[in-house]
Structure 1
Amino acid sequence: MQIKHFYGTSEQAVTNQIWIALIAFCLLVLVKLETKVKHSLLQLTRWLIKLLWQPCGSWIRQLKKKPSRTSRGRQRKHTQV
């Protein structure tokens, strides 16, 4: 979890923003666990930001989509000798 910048600079403002970020993160994890989707938290966050003011059906349809690719991590390139 990263907080890029704070909107307020007082101690109370920073504390509130940290708590809000933690709550949002926990809610996102709960959504992932309850729906049992294979998408990453990053992908779920991107969809939520993109579809925030759309009907919730749009977000649910995105959740039900199968991931378009499965990552196997960085693969080592084999060089021929």
Structure 2
Amino acid sequence: MAGGSIPHFQNDAGHRMIEIGVREFMCVGANPPFDHPHIFIDMGDEDEAVCSYCSTLYRYSPSLKAGETNPPGCTYADQAAA
């Protein structure tokens, strides 16, 4: 994802698994103030990765765009940067 911003995802609803359209991303856990350290996750050639802080399973889905998630609404936008 060189030259672009890294998508951030959150899991306020406590989903076991979130499908995303990228293999490199940041997991923030829940939205602030209940977030965990924002960590970079790189799936490499794999289609799944588990966040080491919140245990959310992220699964790559090529049918989704970079900021899309399934279930919907798991994309995180930093309000301070907006």
Q: Report the TM range for the smaller structure's normalisation.
A: under 0.3
Higher helix share: 1
Q: What is the TM-score of this pair, normalised by structure 2?
A: 0.22
TM-score by length of 1: 0.22
Instruction: Indicate the structure whose relative CO is greater, using CA pairs within 8 Å and at least 6 residues apart.
Output: 2
